[in-house]
């Protein structure tokens, strides 16, 4: 169980993380989502015990990270976004070295890690020669060395090509079957694919915390009807605004026509009325399309509001 309670982090005057609280139960796979600079890395580093909070506390299984960092670190595997590695070392030597540093027996540990992280083919290569995807695999093996109950992965798929991305995601899924995982990303589809819960951070604050499904149902229930008509902006706007179930209209001129985005209240079906209003008012109707808010839109709504 991870407990983050009213945690803030200041860098000088700048508040990178601002009064964030959440708890994560054992076995959850949680996505920490937010735009660049939102405070994801700072939050993860505070949980992992690599950075002190300015206020608030983080507890791992009831143990305060600041009071007993050795104990809490022993429960955590942390993979930073760009894991520092010795590029002149071969993979096998590097992992053996990490095992020794962490007080583990390499002969006992490495075969299993090589197997789950898919490192067999690259064990005798120089780290500097590895593709970014394989470097991430080595980073994961490093993070898993102490067989942690909690795995914290900072943007593990950033900079990977599409094939590497899906390989690393599969690997994380497999590893997540037996562990608590926190993964930061700004890719929504990644969260949908890997996580059962998402915490969205924007401007250092927590702006959402729910299951991906709830998030979509709650915020994504909104939809828009996009209409392309003739007429003038003022008339079209006032006609569409008067339709029952319309919660707002934005109009713009597009190639000599008027494009209207009508925000729909709840699940109202306004399309027949839109068509009727156009016919009654003699406004030429060229196109009409219902657009449901995707999770991508939800993310934009939540993070742009800050
Ligand atoms: P990204 O997706 O770009 O990695 P992030 O959400 O992980 O972003 P953080 O790295 O946590 O964001 O940074 C949050 C804010 O804190 C940023 O504005 C960053 O510049 C600032 N920041 C982070 N570390 C420091 C530091 N050591 N000193 C000063 N400012 C910092």
Give tens-digit pLDDT for 261-272: 998 887 789 999
User: What is each CA distance from 99 to 105, 107, 142, 144, in whole angstroms?
Assistant: 6, 9, 8, 10
Q: Whose CA is nearest to atom 4 of ligand 1?
A: 36
How many whole angstroms from 15 Cα to the centroid of ligand 1?
10
Torsion of CA 184, 190, 196, 201, to 10 degrees: 40
For Cα atoms 122, 128, 131, give the angle at the middle one, nearest 5 degrees. 60
pLDDT at 282: 97
Mutate to test the pocket of ligand 1, among 8, 42, 186, 191 (most ligand atoms within 8 A of CB): 42
Give tens-digit pLDDT for 18-51: 999 999 999 899 999 988 899 999 999 999 999 9
Q: Whose CA is nearest to atom 24 of ligand 1?
A: 42
Position in ligand 1 atom list of the atom nearest CA 11: 29
* Strand-pair partners of 24: 2
Q: Which of 47-51, 187-191, 285-289 has the lowest mean pLDDT?
A: 187-191
Mutate to test the pocket of ligand 1, among 14, 37, 51, 81 (most ligand atoms within 8 A of CB): 37
How many whole angstroms from 129 Cα to the centroid of ligand 1?
29
Residue 264, CB half-sphere, CA atoms under 13 Å: how many?
21
How much of the chain, in percent, has pLDDT values that exceed 70? 95
Please tell me the distance from the alpha carbon of residue 137 to that of residue 147, in angstroms, as a whole number: 15
The residue written with tokens 């006032």 in the block is: 238
| Helical spans, DSSP H, in 153-223 | 162-176, 188-194, 212-219
Residues 6+ apart with CB under 8 A from 164: 131, 132, 133, 136, 157
pLDDT at 221: 62
Q: At what angle do helices 132-144 and 106-117 cross, to 10 degrees?
A: 140
Q: Rounded mean pLDDT of 283-301?
A: 82
Q: Please give the sequence-ordered ranges of beta strands (E in DSSP) within 93-171, or none if there are none.
A: 150-154
| DSSP string across 66-105 | TT-HHHHHTTEEEE-TT----TTSBHHHHHHHHHHHTT--
How many whole angstroms from 11 Cα to the centroid of ligand 1?
9
Mutate to test the pocket of ligand 1, among 38, 156, 187, 190 (most ligand atoms within 8 A of CB): 38
Please tell me the distance from the alpha carbon of residue 85 to that of residue 13, in angstroms, as a whole number: 33
Mutate to test the pocket of ligand 1, among 17, 41, 303 (most ligand atoms within 8 A of CB): 41
Which residues' Cβ are closer than 6 Å to ligand 1?
11, 16, 34, 36-42, 186
pLDDT at 102: 87
Closest CA to 156 of 282, 41, 293: 41
pLDDT at 306: 45
The residue written with tokens 């929504």 in the block is: 188
Q: Which domains does the chain have, with CATH numbers?
A: 2-218 (3.40.50.300), 223-292 (3.30.70.1340)
Q: Whose CA is nearest to atom 27 of ligand 1?
A: 11
């Amino acid at each position: 169980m991870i407990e983050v309670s009213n945690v803030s982090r200041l860098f000088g005057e700048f508040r990178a993380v601002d009064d964030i609280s959440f708890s994560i139960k054992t076995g959850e796979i949680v996505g920490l989502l937010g735009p660049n600079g939102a405070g994801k890395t700072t939050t993860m580093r505070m949980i992992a015990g690599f950075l002190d909070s300015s206020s608030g506390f983080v507890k791992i299984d009831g143990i305060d990270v600041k009071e007993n960092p050795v104990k809490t670190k022993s429960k955590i595997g942390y993979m930073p976004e760009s894991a520092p590695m010795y590029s002149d070392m071969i993979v096998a030597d590097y992992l053996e070295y990490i095992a020794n540093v962490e007080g583990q027996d390499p002969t006992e540990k490495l075969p299993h890690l090589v197997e789950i992280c898919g490192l067999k083919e690259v064990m005798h290569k120089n780290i500097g020669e590895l593709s970014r995807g394989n470097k991430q695999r080595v980073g994961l093996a490093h993070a898993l060395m102490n067989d942690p109950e909690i795995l914290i992965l900072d943007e593990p798929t950033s900079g990977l090509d599409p094939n590497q991305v899906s390989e690393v995601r599969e690997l994380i899924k497999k590893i997540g079957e037996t562990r608590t995982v926190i993964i930061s990303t700004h890719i929504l589809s990644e969260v949908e694919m890997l996580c059962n819960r998402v915490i969205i951070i924007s401007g250092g604050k927590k702006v959402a915390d729910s299951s991906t499904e709830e998030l979509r149902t709650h915020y994504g229930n909104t939809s828009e009807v996009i209409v392309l008509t003739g007429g003038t902006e003022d008339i079209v706007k006032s006609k569409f605004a008067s339709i029952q179930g319309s919660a707002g209209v934005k109009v713009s001129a597009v190639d000599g026509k008027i494009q209207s985005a009508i925000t729909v209240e709840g699940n109202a079906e306004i399309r027949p009325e839109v068509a009727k209003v156009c016919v009654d008012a003699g406004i030429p109707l060229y196109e009409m399309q219902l657009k449901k808010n995707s999770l991508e839109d939800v993310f934009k709504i939540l993070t742009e509001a800050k």
